[in-house]
Chains A and B, each alone.
Chain A
Amino acid sequence: MKKFGKLAALALAATITLTGCATPKDGGNSSTDTNSGKDKTKVAVVINTNLGDKAFSDLVWSGVTRAAEDLDLEVKAFELLGDATRQEPTLTELSESGEWDLVVSGTFNLKEATQDAALEFPEQKFIVYDTEVDFAEDDYSNVVSVMSKQNEGSFLAGALAAMLTSSGIEGTNEEKVIGFVGGGENSAINDFLVGYIEGAKYVDPEVKVLYSYIGDFTNTAKGKELALAQYQQGADIVFAVAGSASLGALNASKEAGRLAIGVDQDHALNLEETDPETSKHIVTSVMKNLDVLIYDKIAEYVNGEIEWGKHIGAGLAENGMSLADNKYYREIVPAEIIEKVEEITEKVKSGEIEVPTAIGMSTEEVEAIKAKASK
Chain B
Amino acid sequence: MEIILDSIFSTEFFFSVLRVATPLIFVSLAALVVKNGGVMCIAFEGMMLFSALGAVIGSAFSQSRLVGILVGLLLGMSISAIFAYFVLVLNSNGVLTGLALNILGSGGTVFMLYLISGDKGSSTALKSLIIPNVDIPIIKDIPVIGEILSGHNILTYVALITVVVVYILINKTPLGLRIRSVGENPHAAESVGIKVIKTKFIALMIGGFIASLGGIYMSMGYLPFFTRDMMAGRGFMGIAASNLGGGLTIPTFAAALLFGSAEALSNIMQSLRLPSEFMQMVPYIVTLIGLMLVGGNNKKLTFKKEEKNE
- Which residues on A are within 8 Å of B, measured CB to CB? 2, 5-6, 9, 16, 19-20, 24-26, 50-55, 179, 185, 210-213, 215-216, 218-222, 224-226, 228-230, 232-233, 243-245, 247-248, 251, 270-271, 273-275, 374
Contacts and interface: CB of A to CB of B under 8 A. Distances in A.
Nearest to A255: B133
B285 to A, nearest CB: 14
Contacts of A25: 118
Interface stretch (B36-44, B122-130, B203-211, B291-299): B122-130
A371 B7 CA distance: 21
B229 A218 contact: yes
Given A185-B276, A215-B280, 8 more contacts: A2-B89, A16-B108, A20-B111, A53-B121, A54-B119, A54-B120, A218-B230, A225-B263
A212 B16 CA distance: 17
B225 interface: yes
Q: Which of B86, B121, B122, B125 has the most chain A CB atoms closer than 10 A to its own CB?
A: B121
Nearest to A248: B223
Given A52-B120, A212-B276, A275-B124, A219 B232 contact: yes
Contacts of A211: 271
B190 interface: no
21 contacts: A2-B89, A5-B89, A5-B90, A6-B90, A20-B111, A25-B118, A52-B119, A52-B120, A215-B276, A220-B122, A220-B223, A221-B23, A225-B267, A226-B267, A229-B16, A229-B270, A229-B271, A233-B271, A251-B225, A271-B124, A274-B126
B230 A221 contact: yes
A301 B190 CA distance: 76
B223 A225 contact: no
A245 B227 CA distance: 8
B12 interface: yes
The 10 closest A-B pairs by CB, nearest first: A219-B232, A212-B270, A218-B229, A210-B271, A52-B120, A244-B121, A220-B227, A225-B267, A274-B127, A213-B276
B306 interface: no
Contacts of B124: 247, 270-271, 274-275
Interface in B107-156: 107-108, 111, 114, 118-122, 124-128
Contacts of A220: 122, 223, 227, 230
B114 A24 contact: yes
Contact of A226 (B89, B114, B270): B270
Interface string B1-18: 001000100101000100
Contacts of A19: 111
Contact of B104 (A16, A221, A251, A274): A16
B50 interface: no
A17 to B, nearest CB: 11
A210 B274 CA distance: 12
B118 A52 contact: yes
A251 B120 CA distance: 19
Interface string B200-239: 0000000000000000001000111101111010000000
A220 B118 CA distance: 20
Nearest to B6: A233
A215 B275 CA distance: 12
B7 to A, nearest CB: 7
Contacts of B268: 229, 232-233
Contacts of B222: 221, 224
B271 A179 contact: yes
Contacts of A244: 121-122, 227-228
B79 interface: no
Contacts of A230: 271
Contacts of B16: 225, 228-229
A241 to B, nearest CB: 14
Contacts of B86: 9
B271 A225 contact: no
Nearest to A220: B227
A179 B114 CA distance: 33
B277 interface: yes
B20 interface: yes
